[in-house]
Amino acid sequence: MTKQSLFQLAIPGVQQLVPYAPGKPITELQRELGLEHIVKLASNENPLGPGPKAIAAIETALPDLARYPDGSGFLLKQALSGRHDISTEQIVLGNGSNEILELLARTFLTPDTEVIFSQHAFAVYPLVTQAVGAQGKSIPALNYGHDLDGMLKAVTANTRMVFIANPNNPTGTFLQHDELESFLKSLPKHVICVLDEAYYEFINEQENFNSRLWLEQFANFIITRTFSKAYGLAGLRVGYGLSSVEMIDLLNRVRQPFNNNSLALAAAQAALDDSDYLHKTLDVNRQGMKQLTKAFSDLNLSWIPSAGNFVSVDLHRPAFPVYEALLKKGVIVRPVANYEMPNHLRISIGTLEENQFFIDALSEVLRDV
Ligand SMILES: *Cc1c(COP(=O)(O)O)cnc(C)c1O
């Protein structure tokens, strides 16, 4: 069989898919340029590394690696149940929260259904939509954020799902409690609202609210969270969904039986208890956000105010050449032209030293271009 004909066997959505482009791995840039010192601020990872309690839990779990993991994730769900004051039957665990997004697509979407998401929203929404052949509808953003009214107006009888990232990646924009609540109230019951809260822990205290309480009011609603960002476990792949018992039952039918490995389960459970590490993480993030935005303002650059652990800066010129020049200096950031933001770079907030290394490199690059 030729390549051509194999391609034609794929479902049309997959034929048109552009694979997700992750941040460049440090080892790849090392291979390419032979640089010793590399700073990666490209994937919204925790710059402190994993927390000490997570590492200790992994060491404890190592001797049991010959066994299959607990496919029900009993202990982690128990811990999450206590944390969120919710029944374990309302929790589904995923191999990263990305897997929950994919499970939702596989559970509810068919080629006859439509999915609504915002322009500049997380790239995985169109990806999981197209992968199952459903129709994605991207709604133009308002000041880089979700236009909730526009999204509501786009709902038809065929709409089955709407994805909302709060805060959104890569813009960092944040929707307040009241606007989201009135959106949920207006959303027809045949549409499932997926509220992706991957950056929940970073939202400042004055603005933050407990979206979990909406689960009691809205059956067509699911919240996704992750251990990849504030909890520093991106490499282990653990996320979860909170929803109604009925929703979780459906997702569990589609879920692979052992989707979370045993080290990931143990580490996530321990990380949930490590409040010292979480506080340190939030501190580093607050300071880094100040440091970066002050540097941007010194460089006469504007940025999108961000509620997350990253910030997208407007270079007022095509960003890709600046991205490439930064790579040569050993700094990996994220170009976001694929998000229709060709003049922006998204910078994940690192340690003070990493941020400074980036700021110095950026200042030099901007002087040279
Ligand atoms: C990083 C991110 C995720 C988390 O992905 P994981 O699969 O949990 O690592 C989910 N949603 C958004 C918007 C993100 O930026």
List pLDDT tens digits, range 4-20: 789 999 988 899 898 88
- C-alpha 20 – ligand 1 centre gap (Å): 12
Nearest Cα residue to atom 15 of ligand 1: 169
Residue 219 to residues 175, 177, 181, 190, 246: CA-CA distances in angstroms? 21, 18, 14, 10, 9
Q: Which residues of the chain have pLDDT under 50?
A: none
In the structure encoding, which two tokens stand for residue 307, read together? Answer: 């509620």
Residue 161 to residues 105, 125, 240, 324: CA-CA distances in angstroms? 9, 10, 18, 37
- pLDDT of amino acid 127: 96
Q: DSSP 3-state assignment of 256?
A: coil
Residue 237 Cα: closest atom of ligand 1: 9
- C-alpha 3 – ligand 1 centre gap (Å): 33
Q: What is the C-alpha separation between 227 and 240, in angstroms, rounded?
A: 9
Residue with structure tokens 């309690």? Answer: 53
Q: What is the C-alpha separation between 155 and 140, in angstroms, rounded?
A: 14
Q: What is the C-alpha separation between 93 and 250, in angstroms, rounded?
A: 13
Nearest Cα residue to atom 12 of ligand 1: 198
In a mutational test of the pocket of ligand 1, which residue from 196, 233, 311, 346 has the highest number of ligand atoms less than 8 Å from its CB?
A: 196
- pLDDT of amino acid 24: 87
In the structure encoding, which two tokens stand for residue 129, read together? Answer: 């939509």
- pLDDT of amino acid 1: 58
Which residues are registered as beta bridge partners of 148? none
- C-alpha 124 – ligand 1 centre gap (Å): 9
- C-alpha 265 – ligand 1 centre gap (Å): 17
Pocket of ligand 1 (CB under 6 A): 44, 96-98, 122, 165, 169, 196, 198, 226, 228-229, 234, 239
- pLDDT of amino acid 3: 64
In a mutational test of the pocket of ligand 1, which residue from 173, 223, 229 has the highest number of ligand atoms less than 8 Å from its CB?
A: 229
Residue with structure tokens 């689960």? Answer: 215
Nearest Cα residue to atom 11 of ligand 1: 198
Residue 95 Cα: closest atom of ligand 1: 7
- C-alpha 350 – ligand 1 centre gap (Å): 18
In a mutational test of the pocket of ligand 1, which residue from 104, 173, 226, 260 has the highest number of ligand atoms less than 8 Å from its CB?
A: 226
Nearest Cα residue to atom 2 of ligand 1: 198
pTM of the model: 0.96
Residue with structure tokens 């990253």? Answer: 310
- C-alpha 252 – ligand 1 centre gap (Å): 20
- C-alpha 65 – ligand 1 centre gap (Å): 27
- If you compute the radius of gyration of the chain from its CA atoms, what whole number of angstroms results? 21
Q: Which domains does the chain have, with CATH numbers?
A: 3-36+276-368 (3.90.1150.10), 52-272 (3.40.640.10)
- C-alpha 74 – ligand 1 centre gap (Å): 23
- C-alpha 48 – ligand 1 centre gap (Å): 18
Residue 43 Cα: closest atom of ligand 1: 1
- Scanning 187-333, the segments in alpha helix (DSSP H) are 245-254, 262-272, 275-298, 320-328
pLDDT, one tens digit per residue, over 166-219 is 999 999 999 999 999 999 999 999 999 999 999 999 999 889 999 999 999 999
- pLDDT of amino acid 206: 87
